[in-house]
Structure 1
Amino acid sequence: MTQQNVSPDTIRDRFSKAMSLMYQQEVPQYRTLLQIVKEVNTLYLQAHPDTFADSDDAEELNRLDVERHGAIRLGKPEELATMRLLFAVMGMQPVSYYDLSAAGVPVHATAFRAVEEASLQYNPFRVFTSLLRLELIDDADLRQKAQQILAQRDIFTPRVRELIALNQKNQGLDETQADEFVQEALKTFKWHSEAQVDVATYQSLLAHHRLIADVVSFKGPHINHLTPRTLDIDAVQKLMPHYQIAAKEVIEGPPPRQVPILLRQTSFKALSEKITFADSSEGLHTARFGEIEQRGLALTPQGRALYDRLLQQASDDADHSQEETHDAQLARCFAAFPDNVTDLRQQALGYFRYRLKPGAVLPEARASRAHLEALISEGIVQAKPIIYEDFLPVSAAGIFQSNLGSERGAVHKGNPNKLAFESALGCPVIDEFSLYQRLQENSLTEIFGENR
């Protein structure tokens, strides 16, 4: 009797939990971070008991406990192409293109994640995946040396390659194969305390850029952080020092708001870990850290343009004035961004999920989208913010910089090369706005039917 294939959602759930356990063992401060986030979330829900009040929101609560994102840094196009196939086993697809050269970080990236609503509710595990841009290393000799070192490594086990091929051939994996896949895939992400370069090579890479040293010097792309989701990131930031955790100085992203938007992130600073070089000498490497995120409303292109403009304004003000704190500058600039659900929705700045109020009946005479505003004002239809599932290039770069030796970086125009990234990936990245638009459209169709 042929075994039934395990769903990609189940494999993703198993993998994310196995990854979390591995990282807790490798970085004990991450375990402490999980405790802080759990404590803050519990206190928040006690103070705001209606946060997850109805059945749909109960699903949000279920996913909150398992929600994590991770990050890895790859060194060559072949690694990215295979990583896409590895994540596909878990139902994760590449969404959006991120150019981190905007902050002087020589990588570009995508986020592998689930894209269907049911899959996101089951487990929204996502991995921010960066590819080193060797062409941005202006030292030709160092660039060639890095290329030669990376050419010699294979970050995937032979067995995980076989299982990836089986998944493609059979459109899935059975129970035994799925469990084996989780264990074999995990080996790609584990920490290696033995560098594959000698100390002199490491120092030359480090002198050019810390991230280059991190990507090139090791046998694999160790997971460099895992990120639980909190409902109150400001409370987590204040609590970390009480647990002897050194938090970064500022929270990345928008300021605190009544209606959270996009993504706010903070982290504890990267740890210095003992490593042994290929010439048997010993040293310290600083790369891995713990991060926390608070997610809010997904913004439309109009909302994102306003967000980017205000963030640029705050950055420009920071360059010209030392009198205001970072938080004060951010709050002042973002006062121009509407902070209530009605304005955000009516000005089409964010995406919303619409539904009939439980027990309500749609009046036959107003069963069309033309009457949406009136139905909302009467409480017959409810509008709920759609949570942002992706990343912010500037926030991501800010976290990178804070753990690579520079706490703050100005916002500059980058050097994007999306075509080269997609060529390495082996497919186009998915446009994030199209996914949120589809969620919003589907919710309206459920109420009013097609094009009504």
Structure 2
Amino acid sequence: MTAPHVESDQVRTLFSRAMSEMYRAEVPQYGTLVELVDDTNRETLQRHNELRASLERSGDLDRLGVERHGAIRLGSAEELFNSRRVFAVMGMYPVGYYDLSVANVPVHATAFRPIADEALRRNPFRVFTSLLRLELIEDEALRSEAARILAARRIFTPRALELVGIFETEGGLTRQQAEEFVHEALETFRWHGDAKVSLDVYQKLHDAHRLIADVVSFKGPHINHLTPRTLDIDAVQAAMPKRGVTPKAVIEGPPRRNCAILLRQTSFKALDEPIIFTQANAGTHTARFGEIEQRGVALTPKGRALYDKLLGSVRRHVGAEGIGPNAGDYGAELAERFKAFPDDWAELRAQGLAFFRYSATPAGIEASKRRALPSTVDGLIAGGFLHADPIVYEDFLPVSAAGIFQSNLGTDEQQNYTGRSNRAAFEAALGAEVHDEFAMYAQAEQTSLEQALVRLGSPHVARKAIA
């Protein structure tokens, strides 16, 4: 009798746990961050009963302790193509296209993550995956050298790809195969202290851009950070020095708000790690760091346009985070400009700026038995018959990601890569189109509303227009 297949959600959980254990052993300060985040989340939930209730209704409370995102940087189309296949075994699919050249980093990216609501509730593990854009290396000889080095390496073990083939052919893996797959796939993300280039070549790559040196010089794309999710990133930022961890100067993303939006991130500075180069030269490399994130509500296209407009105005006025003569004013200017962004859940919903998940309340279900319900969504919410809880933003922000990259590479390089987006080339390398995150949030909102109205016996109620 053939052994049954395990669900992709289970494979993802096995992998994310193994990854976390490996990274905790490799970067001890990551363990310190996890402990700090756990303590902060527990204290935050004790103080905010309404937040706890909202997380419980949406199913987000149980996932909080296991939630992580990681990041890797790839060097070639083949590596991206096979990464897509590997992540598919774990039920993770490419969502969104991120052009980091807008912040002067020579990569573009996607996020591999679960896409179904139930899969996200079980384990929302994500890997932000960047692809180096060799065409942005201006030195033609160096560009050719980097391409030659990347073409010669294989970042996945033969057995890992063999198991991927079994998954693709048979539609799944047995428990034994899944455990072997996790073991083999983990090798791709493990740290290796021996470079695959000479110190001289490394220095040339480093001088072009530190990220280029990180991508090209090693056996594979070592995981460069793992990120737990906190409910109060400002509290974590303030507490990090007390735990012996020095945070970056500025939290990336929107300012602190009553109604959290999108994504805020902070980190500690990347480690200087010993490296042995070919020809036995010793040196150091800076790549891996610890990061913490706070996730807010997903914004509609209208809301995201307002966010981008306000963030752009701040960056034009005081410069990028930590860069420029007026960078010290960044936090104050950010808070001032974002006063133009509504900070009230009802107003965010009324203006169509954010996505919400709807659910029938016990009072609504009881009232529906008497057919004593308002005839509009707004009326149902005002009467306490319908909840509208914010949908968690599951994705990333290119400017914030680039800010983390720049800070933790220890660089203020400002090469002008801006305005050279190439989504078509990225998707060609990927071998698939990336999913549209806005469409997925809109569908989740609409589905939840329809299901809630059915529970209330009010499918005829006018539906809230999706922005």
Counterpart in 2 of 1:62? 62
Percent identity of paired positions between Structure 1 and Structure 2: 55
Structure 1 residues 366 and 445: alpha-carbon distance in aligned structure 2, compared to 1, 3 A threshold: farther
Equivalent residue, structure 1, for 2:330: 326
SS of 2:376 mapped into structure 1: helix
Give a deviation string over 1:55-84, Cα, whole Å, max 9, x none.
844832210000000000000000000000
Q: Which moved more, 1:144-153 or 1:321-330?
A: 321-330
Could you tell me which residue of structure 2 aligns to residue 343 of structure 1?
A: 347
Mapping for residues 272-421 of structure 1, pairs under 5 Å: 272-319=272-319, 322=326, 325-361=329-365, 363=368, 371-406=376-411, 413-421=418-426
Deviations, residues 274-306 of structure 1 (Å, cap 9, x unaligned): 010011110000000000000000000000000
- The count of residues paired between Structure 1 and Structure 2 equals 451
Q: Distance in 1 between matches of 2:58 and 2:318?
A: 41
Query: Which residue identity does 1:133 align to in structure 2?
Result: R
Residues 322 and 287 of structure 1: CA distance in aligned 2, closer, same or farther (over 3 Å): same
Which residue matches 1:18?
18
Structure 1 position 116, deviation (Å): 0.3
- Answer whether contact 1:137 1:143 (CA < 8 A) is retained: yes
**1:244: Cα distance to partner?**
1.7
Moved more, 357-366 or 267-276: 357-366
Q: How does 1:4-403 map to 2 (within 5 A)?
A: 4-53=4-53, 56-57=56-57, 59-319=59-319, 322=326, 325-361=329-365, 363=368, 371-403=376-408
CA distance in 2, matches of 1:423, 1:288: 29
Report how far residue 408 of structure 1 moved: 9.6
1:445 matched to 2:462? The reply is no
Q: Is the 8 A contact 1:198 1:279 kept in 2?
A: yes
Tell me by how many angstroms 1:147 deviates.
0.4
- Is this contact kept in 1: 2:86–2:164, CA < 8 A? yes
2:73–2:215 contact (8 Å) kept in structure 1: yes
Superposition deviation, residue 324 in structure 1 = 6.5
- 1:214 partner amino acid: D
Would you say 1:431 and 2:436 are equivalent positions?
yes
* Closer, same or farther: CA 72–374 of 1 in aligned 2, 3 Å: same
Match of 1:422 among 407, 419, 427: 427
One-letter amino acid of the counterpart of residue 73, structure 2: R
Query: 1:43: Cα distance to partner?
Result: 1.2
Distance 1:165 1:394 in 2: 36
CA contact (8 A) 1:398 1:408 kept: no
**By how many angstroms is 1:180 displaced?**
0.4
Deviation at 1:255, TM superposition (A): 0.2
Indicate if the aligned counterparts of 1:103 and 1:410 stay in contact, CA closer than 8 A.
no
| Greater Cα offset, 187-196 or 58-67 | 58-67
| TM-score, normalised by the number of residues in structure 1 | 0.96
C-alpha distance in 2 between matches for 1:150 and 1:46: 50
Deviates more, 1:424-433 or 1:404-413: 404-413
Structure-2 change in CA distance of 1:99 and 1:184 (3 Å): same
Whether contact under 8 Å (1:112, 1:129) holds in the other structure is: yes
The 2-side partners of 1:64 and 1:410 are apart by: 38
Question: Letter of the aligned partner of 1:445 in structure 2?
Answer: E
SS of equivalent to 1:430: coil
The letter for the 1-side match of 2:140 is A
Deviates more, 1:261-270 or 1:234-243: 234-243
Which runs of 5 or more residues in structure 1 are unaligned?
none
Partner of residue 465, structure 2? none
3-state SS in 1 of match to 2:195 = coil
Aligned CA distance change for structure 1 residues 102 and 52 (closer, same or farther; 3 Å): same
Look up the equivalent residue of 1:371 and give its one-letter code: T
Distance in 2 between residues matched to 1:92 and 1:376, nearest whole Å: 35
**RMSD, aligned α-carbons:** 2.0
SS in 2 for 1:284: strand
Inter-partner Cα distance in structure 2 for 1:107 and 1:451: 48
Contact 2:105/2:417 (CA < 8 Å) preserved in 1? no
Distance 2:240 2:403 in 1: 19
Where 2:155 maps in the other structure, the secondary structure is: coil
Query: Secondary structure of 2:336's match?
Result: helix
1:273: how far off?
Answer: 0.2
In the alignment, the residues of structure 1 paired with residue 252 and residue 214 of structure 2 have an alpha-carbon distance, to the nearest angstrom, of 23
What secondary structure, in the 3-state scheme, does the structure 2 residue paired with 1:195 have?
A: strand
CA distance in structure 1 between the partners assigned to 2:338 and 2:417 by the alignment: 19
Structure 2 residue matching 1:406: 3-state secondary structure: coil
- The one-letter amino acid of 2:392's match is I
Q: Secondary structure at the match of 1:52?
A: helix
Match of 1:374, SS state, is helix
Change (3 A) 1:451 1:96: farther
2:268 and 2:290 in contact (8 A); partners too: yes
User: Aligned pair in 2 of structure 1 residues 385, 323: CA closer, same or farther (>3 Å)?
Assistant: closer
Q: Are the equivalent residues in 2 in contact too, given 1:248–1:269 (CA < 8 A)?
A: yes
- Structure 2 residues without counterparts, runs of 5 or longer: 462-467
